[in-house]
Amino acid sequence: MSTYRVAAKGRIDQSRPVHFTFNGERFEGRKGDTLASALLANGVHLVGRSFKYHRPRGILSAGSEEPNALVGVSRGVGRSEPNTRATVLEVFEGLNTVSQNHWPSLKRDVGTINDAFYMLFSAGFYYKTFMWPKSFWNKVYEPFIRGAAGLGKSPSVPDPDTYASRYAHCDVLVVGSGPAGLAAALEAGRSGAKIILVDEQAELGGSLLSEPAAGINGQPAWQWLETAADELAASKNVTVLTRTTAIGYYHENFLGLCQRVTDHLETLPEGAPRERMWRVRARQVVLAQGSIEKPLVFDGNDRPGVMLAGSARTFLNRYGVKVGNRAVVVTSHDSAWLAAINLAEAGVKVSAIIDIRASVPYHLVDLAKAHGIEVLTGWTVTGTSGRLRVSSVRVNPVTAGGKVGRARNIACDTLLMCGGWTPSVHLFSHTKGKLDWNEERQMFLPGAPTEETRCAGAGNGVFGLLDALKEGAFAGASAATDAGFKAKAGDYQIEGEIACTGISVKELPTDRNSSSAKAFVDFQNDVTAKDIRLAVREGFQSIEHIKRYTTTGMATDQGKTSNINGLAIASDAVRRPTPAVGLTTFRPPYTPTTFGAFAGYTRGSLFEVTRKTAIDGWAEQNGAVFEPVSLWRRAWYFPERGEDMHQSVARECKATRQSLGIFDASTLGKIEIVGPDAAEFINRMYTNAWSKLAPGRLRYGLLLGEDGFIRDDGVIGRLSTDRFHVTTTTGGAARVLATMEDYLQTEWPDLKVWLTSTTEQWAVIALNGPNARQLIEPLVEGIDLSNQAFPHMSVAEGNICGVPTRLFRVSFTGELGFEINVPSRYGRAVWEALYEAGRQYDITPYGTEAMHVMRAEKGYIIVGQDTDGTLTPDDAGLGWAIGKAKPDFVGKRSLTRSDMLKADRKQLVGLMTRDPKTVLEEGAHIVADPNQPVPMKMIGHVTSSYWSEALGRSIALAVIEGGRAREGQTVHVPMPGKTHQAEITGMVFFDPENERLNA
């Protein structure tokens, strides 16, 4: 094993080696390692290339805030994930990882040339660089941007894993299981309240996992932690979720928790979901998110081997890994001194501590000197050297007046930095909770909450261990109390705590030209201090604008390590106080979250239901090709051997018009309207007159919006004085019922009417063709089907094939037609019986396409195809459907607005192409003069267009400005390759006298 692993240190299992690969090379780690700690244990710091400049990058942090160490993980086909943070990826035997953003190899990368063209990529480079010449766009810039855009490689095949989701309720949800969160969960748990404790890490403890030296209530920290974890595990009212990230905090204490179930396992358990999204509604929330260490901003602060001091401490104390053999520390905060001393105690040669501050607490200085560390207070760091790993650091004294003195170089293989700590206020900020700027401490702290929530510990600016425990306990007890339980915060005693303070700084002072410094603020998006100052010089004042112009804080890490440094520099550059420059908005999710977790079970066939009729199975067995119509799938056409769609549809139409066609119309929306005021209600809703419609009769109904435009249509049957069977379009069924309910409940609550959706209750079989009556006459009981007794537009109740039916005589093809409504459970049996009996008439099943063709031959419109929400009844040629004598109906008032009466409104007309073989494209534009200059004036468009087998030519419907007055005129339809001539006609192409349907 390597020289970087420290025996008998850390929480990893030193006795259990695990093997993994990184860029094809095999490494050994320990059970409990993250990929980052395992690589560092092997002396590997170089783990990736940066996004823009392809600079070599190392591991910056030890947590989920990591901006640099992003790797691709592959677990076989479909199971590859880009941009996984090495600092949270747990190693297991056989783990397979690769680095990103490099070609051909991590150590020799061609893209590094970007680094040399530094000036080209400064702030706003997208906006400036790719401006001109215009001709460069297609061939140079776009391929470049596409090549450079995005981090990592996305998988190319569907994800074979499953993702679960679950709803949960609790009294107190505690986010974070560091000292504050643990104390909160313990107190709240003891009250008997239902608790959920959630932590993104593999085990509870948070910052305690990096601090074994402290003592809590007379126990060593880790022993206290074990006791606490045992108590929580034993409490039936407490649910502990580790490896679970609280990704978002939404309205009214609703939080999303993403639990990673299998990613850390060597073998995937059969049937286990990879992740589970918890949607939790909590009465009270305690946020104990902790804090994130700030990097310092100086030239070369991104070189591999430069990392956060607190993270180095975590790697040592938690994972038993020395991050180097020869370290230098640069800091503005006491906490890095503790890291330096921990490392020195573990045998790392700590050459020097560079503290930006002129004065540092004596006890720290004494402690450092006692460990043989050189102390340089009031100094600065002005550069680093080394190609793929830091090899030395350049340091200079700074006078009280700010003058930077002569440089000196100190050799090192690791440079640890600390610019202080930023409270994690992300979740609090999701709730629009106010953040207050603390000028003295230079940090944003949670202010007045908008939800039932409290913040505790470092996330609330309370950094000391004792204070965090106490505040956590108080928060947990008061949350439980507010949730209706009895709780009291217990007390804590601490041994061995060293209080830490520090200051915040902008870029470190330098003796060099700062405009050539590569002092990074945002490591993941390669944004430097100079970029931010340049943006301000170019006029950007608000942090929201500076952010977007420089892209700082916009990468997958959402600026966890960079936002506050960026803000401090921006605020200095615009010479305004930090809160006046503003903080950018934190948005969910807190860390990158898989689409799978969000989708949960709702994927594939569960993403959107497919509604099927009772007859769907027969259609499938008989070779139907289906098409989706709203949520339904409908039989589109029934091809016979070797037929294409065109041949099949032509045959289906011909058979129906010659003898008999059978069609599944079950998807039609159906609403039963019942009550003494049913006729009055329909009168008010639909344009037509209904009061005089006799029971047993049908009428075409037209429904408008209050704006006067057509919304829906359908045939309505009156079964008795107080009962109507209303049909709607397939797609409009739910919308129409909702509209009716709205009027009935809120405008006319005095009407005695009841509405029931009956779409799924009835299977509807449409029989059309000259032999339709002959077929059903012997099968129907209780209804006289003669033309005199049961003419076109009649309805009657009786039996068919022994099953109760509501029989409609109605036609959407222009042929003699019946729509046979039977209870859905009999739909298929009746269909099959009719089909068998119909063989003598060569009965032919037809699909929606043939239905469309035949209705267009008759000029029957389809709402939503021939209308588009801007057509009035008159525009659509349906002026006859308006009850002129009615004083009012929905939409009537709008029909007399001046705009609605204009002569040049677009009107629905027929079109016949000059060349009968040309079938126009639906949606094609129509112009009056094809020789006018481009752009031409469009006077309308084609709405429906088909080959009509019955007419032996093409037909089309179109909306054209003042179309009816232009009947007989020629218009022009430009289509790819040719502009076609067509004549405007009436809308009825076939059997205009309706002889066939009245037969």
Partner 1 sequence: MLLIRCPHCAAERPEVEFVYAGEAHISRPRDPAVLTDEQWKNHLFIRSNPRGTHFERWRHIHGCGRFFNAVRDTVTDKFAMTYKAGLPRPSEAEIREARS
Is residue 735 at the binding interface for partner 1, with CB under 8 A as the rule?
Answer: no
Q: Which two tokens stand for residue 809?
A: 């005589």
Smallest separation (angstroms) from partner 1 to the CB of 509: 44
Specify the stretch interacting with partner 1 by CB under 8 A; choose among 518-526, 561-569, 742-750, 981-989: 742-750
Smallest separation (angstroms) from partner 1 to the CB of 880: 21
Q: Name residue 743's amino acid.
A: Y
Q: Which residues of 340-355 are buried (b: 16+ CB within 10 A; e: fewer)?
A: bbbbbeeebbbbbbbb
Task: Identify the DSSP state of 297.
Answer: B
Closest by CA position to 101, among listed 111, 87, 91: 111
- Partnered with residue 31 across adjacent β-strands are 13
Q: Which two tokens stand for residue 410?
A: 């100190």
Residues of span 422-451 touching partner 1 by CB under 8 A: 432, 450
Q: Which two tokens stand for residue 728?
A: 């709607």
Residues of span 458-477 touching partner 1 by CB under 8 A: none
Closest by CA position to 13, among listed 289, 189, 150, 202: 202
The residue within the footprint of partner 1, chosen from 118, 137, 141, 254 (CB under 8 A), is 254
| DSSP per position, 113-126 | HHHHTGGGGSTTHH
* Residues in contact with 840: Cβ distance below 8 Å, sequence separation at least 6, in sequence order: none
Closer residue to partner 1, CB minimum distance, 136 or 167 = 167
Residues of span 528-567 touching partner 1 by CB under 8 A: none
Strands 349-355 and 326-331: parallel
Is residue 707 at the binding interface for partner 1, with CB under 8 A as the rule?
Answer: yes
Q: What is the torsional sign of CA 285, 289, 290, 293?
A: negative
The residue within the footprint of partner 1, chosen from 645, 738, 789, 975 (CB under 8 A), is 738
The residue within the footprint of partner 1, chosen from 108, 251, 434, 488 (CB under 8 A), is 251
Judge whether 857 and 811 are in contact, CB under 8 Å.
no
Closer residue to partner 1, CB minimum distance, 899 or 995 = 899
Smallest separation (angstroms) from partner 1 to the CB of 426: 19
Judge whether 748 and 636 are in contact, CB under 8 Å.
no
Closer residue to partner 1, CB minimum distance, 403 or 432 = 432
The count of other CB atoms within 10 Å of the CB of residue 841 is 19
The residue within the footprint of partner 1, chosen from 230, 374, 436, 741 (CB under 8 A), is 741
Closer residue to partner 1, CB minimum distance, 492 or 686 = 686
Smallest separation (angstroms) from partner 1 to the CB of 602: 13
Smallest separation (angstroms) from partner 1 to the CB of 191: 24
Closer residue to partner 1, CB minimum distance, 279 or 441 = 279
Smallest separation (angstroms) from partner 1 to the CB of 742: 7
Is residue 349 at the binding interface for partner 1, with CB under 8 A as the rule?
Answer: no
The residue within the footprint of partner 1, chosen from 436, 747, 781, 915 (CB under 8 A), is 747
Task: Identify the DSSP state of 778.
Answer: G
Smallest separation (angstroms) from partner 1 to the CB of 436: 18
Closer residue to partner 1, CB minimum distance, 154 or 450 = 450
Q: Write the interaction track for partner 1 spanning residues 272-311; mark x where CB under 8 A is met and - where it is not.
A: -------x-x------------------------------
Q: Which two tokens stand for residue 518?
A: 């590569």
The count of other CB atoms within 10 Å of the CB of residue 81 is 20
Smallest separation (angstroms) from partner 1 to the CB of 252: 5
User: 491 burial class (0-12, 13-18, 19+ CB within 10 angstroms)?
Assistant: exposed
Specify the stretch interacting with partner 1 by CB under 8 A; choose among 81-89, 245-253, 268-276, 957-965: 245-253
Specify the stretch interacting with partner 1 by CB under 8 A; choose among 45-53, 79-87, 246-254, 854-862: 246-254
Smallest separation (angstroms) from partner 1 to the CB of 275: 20
Specify the stretch interacting with partner 1 by CB under 8 A; choose among 11-19, 570-578, 838-846, 892-900: 892-900
Q: Which two tokens stand for residue 74?
A: 């592959």
Strands 408-411 and 392-397: antiparallel
The residue within the footprint of partner 1, chosen from 749, 923, 933, 935 (CB under 8 A), is 749
Smallest separation (angstroms) from partner 1 to the CB of 450: 6
Outline where DSSP puts E strands in 744-868.
754-757, 762-768, 780-781, 794-800, 803-809, 817-823, 844-845
Smallest separation (angstroms) from partner 1 to the CB of 93: 41
Smallest separation (angstroms) from partner 1 to the CB of 714: 22
Is residue 745 at the binding interface for partner 1, with CB under 8 A as the rule?
Answer: yes
Q: Which two tokens stand for residue 545?
A: 């604008």
From CA 416, how far away is CA 328, in angstroms rounded? Answer: 6
Is residue 742 at the binding interface for partner 1, with CB under 8 A as the rule?
Answer: yes
Smallest separation (angstroms) from partner 1 to the CB of 484: 16
The kind and range of the H/E element at 617 are: helix 616-621
Specify the stretch interacting with partner 1 by CB under 8 A; choose among 26-34, 612-620, 791-799, 884-892: 884-892
Closer residue to partner 1, CB minimum distance, 260 or 684 = 684
Closer residue to partner 1, CB minimum distance, 267 or 898 = 898
* Residues in contact with 147: Cβ distance below 8 Å, sequence separation at least 6, in sequence order: none
Task: State in Å, rounded, how far the first CA of the chain is from the last one.
Answer: 95
Closest by CA position to 85, among listed 276, 285, 305, 245: 245
Is residue 870 at the binding interface for partner 1, with CB under 8 A as the rule?
Answer: no
Place of tokens 């067509």: 982
Q: Give one word for 15, left, alpha or beta, with left for phi > 0 and alpha for psi -120 to 50.
A: alpha
Smallest separation (angstroms) from partner 1 to the CB of 597: 17
Is residue 894 at the binding interface for partner 1, with CB under 8 A as the rule?
Answer: yes
Q: Which two tokens stand for residue 458?
A: 């470092």
The residue within the footprint of partner 1, chosen from 403, 893, 902, 914 (CB under 8 A), is 893
Judge whether 348 and 325 are in contact, CB under 8 Å.
yes
The residue within the footprint of partner 1, chosen from 513, 605, 788, 898 (CB under 8 A), is 898
From CA 673, how far away is CA 744, in angstroms rounded? Answer: 11
| DSSP per position, 335-383 | HHHHHHHHHHHTT-EEEEEEESSS---HHHHHHHHHTT-EEEETEEEEE
Smallest separation (angstroms) from partner 1 to the CB of 251: 5
Judge whether 667 and 634 are in contact, CB under 8 Å.
yes
Size of site (CB under 8 A) for partner 1: 24
Q: Write the interaction track for partner 1 spanning residues 152-181; mark x where CB under 8 A is met and - where it is not.
A: ------------------------------
Strands 970-975 and 978-985: antiparallel
Is residue 887 at the binding interface for partner 1, with CB under 8 A as the rule?
Answer: yes
Specify the stretch interacting with partner 1 by CB under 8 A; choose among 341-349, 535-543, 687-695, 745-753: 745-753
Specify the stretch interacting with partner 1 by CB under 8 A; choose among 111-119, 239-247, 739-747, 960-968: 739-747
Judge whether 234 and 188 are in contact, CB under 8 Å.
no
Q: Write the interaction track for partner 1 spanning residues 665-704; mark x where CB under 8 A is met and - where it is not.
A: ----------------------------------------
Residues found near partner 1 in the complex (CB under 8 A): 250-252, 254, 279, 281, 432, 450, 706-707, 738, 741-742, 745-747, 749, 887-888, 892-894, 897-898
